[in-house]
Amino acid sequence: MKSEFDICIIGAGMAGATIAAYLAPKGIKIALIDHCFKEKKRIVGELLQPGAVLSLEKMSLGHLLDGFDAQVVDGYSLLQGNEKITIPYPIGYKGMGLHNGRFLQQIRASALQNDSVTQVHGKALRLLENDRQEIIGVSYRESITSEMKDIYAPLTITSDGFFSNFRESLSNNEKSVTSYFIGLILKNCDMPFPRHGHVFLSGPTPFICYPISENEVRLLIDFPGDQLPRKQLLQSHLDTNVTPYIPDCMIKSYQQAIQEGGFKVMPNHYMAAKPIIRKGAVMLGDALNMRHPLTGGGLTAVFSDIQILSEHLLAMPDFSNTDLIHEKIEAYYQDRQHANANLNILANALYGVMSNDLLKTAVFKYLQRGGSNAQESISILAGLNRNHYSLIKQFACLAVFGAFDLVRQSLVNLPNALKILLDALIIIKPLARNELSLGAVVSGYFKHKD
Ligand SMILES: Cc1cc2nc3c(=O)[nH]c(=O)nc-3n(C[C@H](O)[C@H](O)[C@H](O)COP(=O)(O)OP(=O)(O)OC[C@H]3O[C@@H](n4cnc5c(N)ncnc54)[C@H](O)[C@@H]3O)c2cc1C
């Protein structure tokens, strides 16, 4: 099928708009479809780990972080009871806190300024197939006229986010809700450590905060379970499990935000990537793969995927050879698995750790000791260290440290020490099975030694 486009992108969100902004200046002809191009107010994607910032810079898109009051983040702090620790990001790297909606508009504008991008206002409804079941484009309903229209392209990228319509045709993914995040904006709020991401461990469930503009802080409060919290339950969760643990310096802004009542609630998913490789289409972003947002790893994964996919696509002379495109899609899926495994495992493993009283105390003490273990752990969190051996080593060291620390205090703690080891295994085993191969860990070991 002859087409005026090389790529049709479904969803001009973080993934779709960014890959369009990267590929369009290289002359690739793109149809960029979304049913809403207006600025959204969302509680997602507001902390970019250094890995995400680095990917943007490598794609020469670092300037998209300028000019809308995004804030530099230097590292993380953990707070438990009266104790506080800070761990800086590796030297030379920075994270960014920002308004996701403003950032996305900036990325979209950068994509749409290229003549090679055609903006399409519409809701994509169905992938188009030829008689060999290859995907040849998409059928969509135009926003203004409600007319059904088709777009043809040798490659369709489905980047329509976490409620993707197209997963069924392109993957075997199993999606589960791990918990919910309740999002609030705290105005004129002094955080315990300026320019830091904060993880508060004093209450029964974690909550986190980071700056998103010069005078605004995003607070994300975990609500465990897979059921959307009802209003009353949400209020009692805040009253009992959160308010008593908000630090004094933040309480005034917090109470004001609660009074104004503008909270948003979002589900936190885990979904390992299990793509079905079909000719003519590829999945990108949350449509393909999700992890708990506690570590802010989502955009690190998205931008890294964009780099990997683009590198493969740009190695082709053009988009005329559908067999070659297919080879490139296969290579992308293979490479991205390795690149994102640490981000995916860490996010859900850390959520498991922080929801477990014994492990939560262990992780705090483990990081409090500082040194090379704390540095290696933060470089994994930052999305800079993708070595699988490093991740498994740090997780194992944490569990052993926690168990040993308990026994060192008193032999009476032996059952709890064994429980820590068992709980750690229960947390990591299904994640490692989904995301890792033994070969990848072993090869990580040799790279780590070098
Ligand atoms: C509560 C929460 C907090 C998070 N916080 C962070 C964080 O701090 N840092 C971080 O790195 N990651 C974070 N994440 C993850 C991150 O936000 C996502 O990984 C990222 O936004 C995924 O981008 P995407 O392009 O796949 O999806 P989206 O950005 O959601 O984009 C999807 C786009 O597709 C469009 N669309 C959908 N269906 C159709 C259709 N049928 N036709 C046309 N268009 C369509 C939508 O309008 C939208 O524009 C968080 C996630 C959650 C749930």
Nearest to 182 by CA among 136, 130, 117, 228: 228
* Ligand 1 pocket check for 124: Cβ under 6 Å: yes
Is there a single domain that holds both residue 111 and residue 237?
no
Is there a single domain that holds both residue 196 and residue 258?
yes
Is there a single domain that holds both residue 368 and residue 394?
yes
Q: Is the pLDDT of residue 317 over 80?
A: yes
Ligand 1 atom 43 nearest Cα: 34
Residue 366: per-residue pLDDT: 97
> What's the rounded mean pLDDT across residues 168-195?
94
Our measurement of the distance from residue 411's CA atom to the centroid of its chain's CA atoms, rounded to an integer in Å, reads 41
Mean pLDDT of the chain: 95
Handedness of CA 166, 161, 295, 228 (dihedral sign): negative
Residue 444: per-residue pLDDT: 78
Handedness of CA 432, 437, 440, 442 (dihedral sign): positive
d(CA 126, CA 434): 29
Residue 2: per-residue pLDDT: 64
Ligand 1 atom 39 nearest Cα: 160
Structural domain contains residue 346? no
Is there a single domain that holds both residue 278 and residue 323?
yes
Residue 228: per-residue pLDDT: 87
Is there a single domain that holds both residue 108 and residue 14?
yes
* Domain containing residue 259: CATH number: 3.30.9.100
Confidence of residue 449 (pLDDT cuts 50, 70, 90): low
Residue 1: per-residue pLDDT: 57
pLDDT tens, 358-416? 999 999 999 999 999 999 999 999 999 999 999 999 999 999 999 999 999 999 999 99
Residue 440: per-residue pLDDT: 75
> How many percent of the chain have pLDDT more than 90?
91
Residue 263: per-residue pLDDT: 87
Structural domain contains residue 345? no
> How many percent of the chain have pLDDT more than 70?
99
pLDDT tens, 250-309? 999 999 999 998 889 999 999 999 999 999 999 999 999 999 999 999 999 999 999 999
Strands 281-283 and 135-142: unpaired
Structural domain contains residue 350? no
Into how many domains does the chain fold? 3
Is there a single domain that holds both residue 107 and residue 15?
yes
Q: Decide which of 307, 339, 371 is a domain's last residue.
A: 339
Residue 262: per-residue pLDDT: 80
* Ligand 1 pocket check for 161: Cβ under 6 Å: yes
Is there a single domain that holds both residue 236 and residue 278?
no
Structural domain contains residue 221? yes
Structural domain contains residue 2? no
pLDDT tens, 64-88? 999 999 999 999 999 999 999 999 9
Q: Decide which of 217, 241, 270 is a domain's last residue.
A: 270
Which residues contact residue 213 at a Cβ distance below 8 angstroms, ignoring those fewer than 6 apart? Answer: 69, 70, 71, 98, 99
* Ligand 1 pocket check for 296: Cβ under 6 Å: yes
Is there a single domain that holds both residue 207 and residue 90?
yes
* Ligand 1 pocket check for 382: Cβ under 6 Å: no
Structural domain contains residue 349? no
Q: Is 369 exposed, middle or buried (0-12, 13-18, 19+ CB in 10 A)?
A: exposed
* Ligand 1 pocket check for 444: Cβ under 6 Å: no
Q: Decide which of 314, 339, 364 is a domain's last residue.
A: 339
Ligand 1 atom 30 nearest Cα: 161
CA of 14 to the centre of ligand 1 (A): 6
CA of 266 to the centre of ligand 1 (A): 11
* Domain containing residue 133: CATH number: 3.50.50.60
In ligand 1, the atom with minimum distance to the C-alpha of 104 is 29
* Ligand 1 pocket check for 43: Cβ under 6 Å: yes
d(CA 141, CA 126): 10
Range of the domain at 363: 356-449
Structural domain contains residue 186? yes
* Ligand 1 pocket check for 141: Cβ under 6 Å: no
Is there a single domain that holds both residue 12 and residue 146?
yes
Is there a single domain that holds both residue 126 and residue 94?
no
CA of 397 to the centre of ligand 1 (A): 34
Q: Is the pLDDT of residue 450 over 70?
A: no
In ligand 1, the atom with minimum distance to the C-alpha of 40 is 49
Which of 32, 173, 286 for mutating ligand 1's site (highest number of atoms within 8 Å of CB)? 286
Q: Is the pLDDT of residue 202 over 60?
A: yes
Is there a single domain that holds both residue 197 and residue 244?
yes
Full-model pTM? 0.96
d(CA 283, CA 287): 6
Structural domain contains residue 192? yes
Strands 281-283 and 196-200: unpaired
Is there a single domain that holds both residue 235 and residue 132?
no
Confidence of residue 3 (pLDDT cuts 50, 70, 90): confident
Strands 148-152 and 135-142: antiparallel
> What's the rounded mean pLDDT across residues 89-103?
98
- CA distances, 395 to each of 77, 352, 358, 437, 446 (Å): 19, 12, 14, 17, 18
